[in-house]
Amino acid sequence: MSESFQYRPEKAGVWKYLPALAFGLITFGGLIAGVRSLQQIPAEKWKEMADWHKVAQGESTRILTSQLNDHFIFSKDFAATERAVSWNLARDTGAQVRPGCSGWFFLTEELTTFDGGAQNARARAWMVTEVARQLKQRGIPLVIAMVPDKARIETAHTCGLHRPAAFAARYDLWMNEVRAAGVPVLDLREPLQQVQGERYYRTDSHWNEAGANAVSAYIAQQLRQQQLIATEAAPMNAETVKSRQAERLGDLYKLSSLNDVPLWARPATEVATLSDVTPVAVQSDDLFGDSGLPAISLIGTSFSLRGNFVPFLSRHVGAPVANLAKDGGAFDGAAQAFFHSKVFEQEPPKLIVWEIPERMLQRSFDAKERVWYQTLKQGKL
């Protein structure tokens, strides 16, 4: 017959205090964490919660709960742990990013259809042709530089990611529609496809330096052929382009929230070529003359701000380039900002290159873009 367990304090010694000590430490630690978290809540939120109307309605309790969740001192650690587990168990990269082959990430937007996408693309094609028409009346030529999706160019690294079949013809359909209206569109697939090796960063949605350099050389060549520029390319040598290999966290890495995950638990950081490229500067004796104005005014998106695209373009053009692109500006952000600026009215550009990514074409219109669409309908920029 087995004997039942009997607890005898006199035999437990100092260990008998262990449960109480553990409970006390946990309680004290929780108290400290709670107080520290409460201290992180902004003063204006405390004032908001002190409103007796919100106290009576229970709104203050909701605000306090929300603020504690936002400012809990261990929230980043917990979030990083969750991301580490979900990445290593399920290769989860969040809603905005999809993993391709090992080390390659792609933007979900390049793999997803939009409601009314074809109609949105046609509307934007009309907007471009209308802008070109109005600029032509002012004697300003417009050239479109159309950037293909990363998933289109680096398809060998998608490893089975589904891309809608309708996207296969999207690039050509839009380009041909704009060209049919007499607006020159540069097909940037051509220079990118000629590059040996990778054209886009692995963990970023944008082209790398090899892609940006090839594209900028192609644009300069096409502008000369169309007699829109007459300058010769500036030298590209060890003095003007100083390169090194270094780690680089791409925007897709950050969108996946993997940048806060411990090094041992996250994908390897991409090693890429990072260069210091010297753009062509305005000559001192031309500062106050028309020849001192930039040869090109560039409007566009974050593509124009990645891979040293503008410095490369400046050297291939052999003249200064005014970079008016906007990070996160979408299809219309940089264009609206430039056309509605005093600089545009007071110092009209010689030539405008409008960089437009394929992935922007079918997006839903936001309120600001809809207003601009109606403004263009009225014959105004």
Its domain, for residue 304, covers 117-241+275-377
CA atoms within a 13 Å half-sphere pointing along the CA-CB vector of 307: 24
Q: Is residue 370 part of a domain?
A: yes
Q: State the Cα–Cα distance between residues 282 and 364, nearest whole angstrom.
A: 40
Q: What band does 288 get if pLDDT is binned at 50, 70 and 90?
A: very low
What residue ranges in the chain does DSSP mark as E strands?
Answer: 97-99, 105-107, 142-147, 185-187, 241-248, 270-277, 296-299, 321-323, 352-357
Min mean pLDDT across 68-72, 164-168, 257-261, 355-359 is at: 68-72
**pLDDT, tens digit, 9 for 90 and up, residues 153-189:** 999 999 999 999 999 999 999 999 999 999 999 999 9
Closest CA to 345 of 140, 143, 183, 141: 140
Higher pLDDT: 15 or 106? It is 106
299 contacts 331 by C-beta, under 8 angstroms: no
Report how far residue 74's alpha carbon sits from residue 72's, in angstroms, rounded to the nearest whole number: 6
65, part of any domain: no
Euclidean distance between CA atoms 194 and 61, whole angstroms: 61
Q: Three-class SS of residue 15?
A: helix
Coil, strand or helix at 38: helix
Please give the structure tokens belonging to residue 55. Answer: 């106290």
Question: Dihedrals φ, ψ of 151, to 5°?
Answer: -65, -20
Q: 91 or 75: whose pLDDT is higher? A: 91
pLDDT (mean) for 251-267: 91
Asked if residue 64 belongs to a domain, the reply is no
For residue 362, is it within any domain? yes
Q: Taking all residues of the chain, what is their mean pLDDT, rounded to a whole number? A: 90
Report the domain count for the chain.
1
Domain membership of residue 281 (yes or no) is yes
Q: What SS3 state is found at 53?
A: helix
What backbone phi and psi angles, to 5 degrees, belong to 105?
A: -120, 150
pLDDT in tens, 124-147: 999 999 999 999 999 999 999 999
Q: Where is average pLDDT lowest: 117-121, 209-213, 253-257? A: 253-257
315 falls within a domain: yes
pLDDT in tens, 196-208: 999 999 999 999 9
- Classify residue 218: in a domain, yes or no: yes
Name residues whose C-beta falls within 8 Å of residue 96's C-beta, 6 or more positions apart in sequence.
Answer: 107, 108, 109, 255, 256
* CA distances for 229 relative to 118, 138, 221, 348, angstroms: 34, 18, 9, 16
**d(Cα 381, Cα 370) in Å, to the nearest integer?**
13
Does the pLDDT of residue 34 top 60, yes or no? yes
Please check whether residue 269 lies inside any domain of the structure.
no
Query: Which stretches within 43-180 are classed as H helix?
Result: 43-49, 52-57, 59-71, 75-90, 117-137, 150-153, 170-180
